[in-house]
């Protein structure tokens, strides 16, 4: 199999599971949680390492920021045999109960971005796979972090969220932000909608666990707003979820090597 044009990988790794951070700088740290990690490739925003878990290969590959690069990553990973994708990333809290240092397991995403509209009309929901979501919820709680499960907002413009008043479309941005909060949206980020829609179209399982960095709504309300840029618990949750999924996936064959 030829190497895929953007990610620089072919299918010789044999991995069916992939952990996907946005930041290339986090790839090696995530791969270090696996057995026998080794560098594979660096192409554009896509840095990839390979390791094993429970004796099975697992890819760790960055996707860059935003929906377009995430969609390309999922497309090309699916072409080379990956069947389960787990995003491990960061977000900003929206619901006031969501605080810095908490984890959010994204069950679905508001499609406030452009990439997925070139796959399917906006009425189609961006939903995570329920098996992956369940594994992530269990693994996230096992880290001891306060864990929230629900809907996140996926956007294209970081500064459109953080400085909407100076944008020509600012009134519409603020109206929609308020709408998502009133509907129960937990947090805001930039990749989940693309991950979920593209995975759904391709028949790939996908889920996401996000470290909450801060919550501007808590700050706006005069509440404590702790900041946490440490993604280690989110990484632990992603690796733990892959282990749980492997256990479930091999159970009918009664294979060993992955614990009880």
CATH code for the domain in which residue 80 is found: 3.40.50.1580
Domain that holds residue 116: 11-253
Q: Does a structural domain hold residue 258?
A: no
Q: What is the pLDDT of residue 121?
A: 98
| 108 and 126 Cβ atoms separated by less than 8 Å | yes
Q: Does a structural domain hold residue 198?
A: yes
Question: Rounded to an integer, what distance in angstroms lies between the CA atom of residue 51 and that of residue 37?
Answer: 4
Q: Does a structural domain hold residue 259?
A: no
Q: Does a structural domain hold residue 1?
A: no
Average pLDDT of the residues in 247-259: 65
Whole-number average pLDDT of the chain: 95
Strand partners, 19: 60, 86
| 50 and 56 Cβ atoms separated by less than 8 Å | no
Q: Does a structural domain hold residue 2?
A: no
Strand partners, 116: none
* Residue among 20, 6, 2 at smallest CA distance from 82: 20
Q: Does a structural domain hold residue 3?
A: no
Q: Considering its fold, how many domains does the chain have in total?
A: 1
- Look up residue 244 and give its DSSP letter: H
Question: Rounded to an integer, what distance in angstroms lies between the CA atom of residue 179 and that of residue 189?
Answer: 16
For residue 259, what pLDDT band results from cuts at 50, 70 and 90?
low
pTM confidence score: 0.94
| pLDDT at residue 250 greater than cutoff 90 | no
Q: Does a structural domain hold residue 71?
A: yes
Average pLDDT of the residues in 31-49: 97
Q: Which residues contact 256 (CB under 8 A, 6 or more apart)?
A: none
Question: Rounded to an integer, what distance in angstroms lies between the CA atom of residue 41 and that of residue 27?
Answer: 11
- pLDDT, tens digit, 9 for 90 and up, residues 179-235: 999 999 999 999 999 999 999 999 999 999 999 999 999 999 999 999 999 999 999
Q: What is the pLDDT of residue 255?
A: 46
| pLDDT at residue 258 greater than cutoff 80 | no
Q: Does a structural domain hold residue 5?
A: no
Question: Rounded to an integer, what distance in angstroms lies between the CA atom of residue 95 and that of residue 89?
Answer: 18
């Amino acid at each position: 199999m030829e190497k895929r044009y953007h990610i620089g990988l072919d299918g010789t790794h044999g991995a069916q599971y992939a952990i996907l951070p946005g930041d290339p700088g986090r790839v090696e740290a995530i791969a270090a949680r696996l057995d026998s990690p080794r560098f594979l490739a660096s192409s554009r925003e896509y840095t990839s390492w390979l390791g094993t878990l429970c004796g099975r290969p697992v890819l760790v590959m960055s996707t860059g920021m935003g929906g377009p690069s995430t969609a390309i990553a999922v497309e090309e990973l699916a072409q080379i045999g990956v069947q389960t994708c787990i995003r491990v990333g960061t977000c900003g809290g929206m619901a006031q109960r969501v605080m810095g240092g908490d984890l959010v397991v994204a069950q679905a995403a508001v499609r406030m971005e452009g990439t997925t509209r070139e796959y399917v009309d906006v009425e189609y929901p961006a939903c995570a796979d329920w098996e992956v979501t369940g594994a992530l919820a269990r693994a996230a709680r096992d880290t001891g972090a306060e864990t929230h499960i629900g809907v996140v907002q996926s956007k294209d413009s970081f500064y459109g969220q953080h400085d909407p008043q100076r944008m020509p479309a600012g009134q519409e941005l603020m109206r929609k932000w308020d709408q998502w909060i009133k509907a129960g949206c937990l947090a805001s980020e930039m990749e989940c909608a693309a991950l979920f829609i593209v995975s759904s179209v391709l028949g790939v399982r996908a889920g996401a666990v996000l470290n909450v960095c801060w919550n501007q709504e808590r700050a706006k309300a005069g509440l404590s707003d702790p900041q946490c840029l440490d993604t280690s618990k989110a990484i632990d949750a992603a690796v733990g979820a892959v282990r749980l999924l492997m256990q479930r996936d091999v159970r009918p064959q009664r294979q060993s090597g992955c614990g009880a």
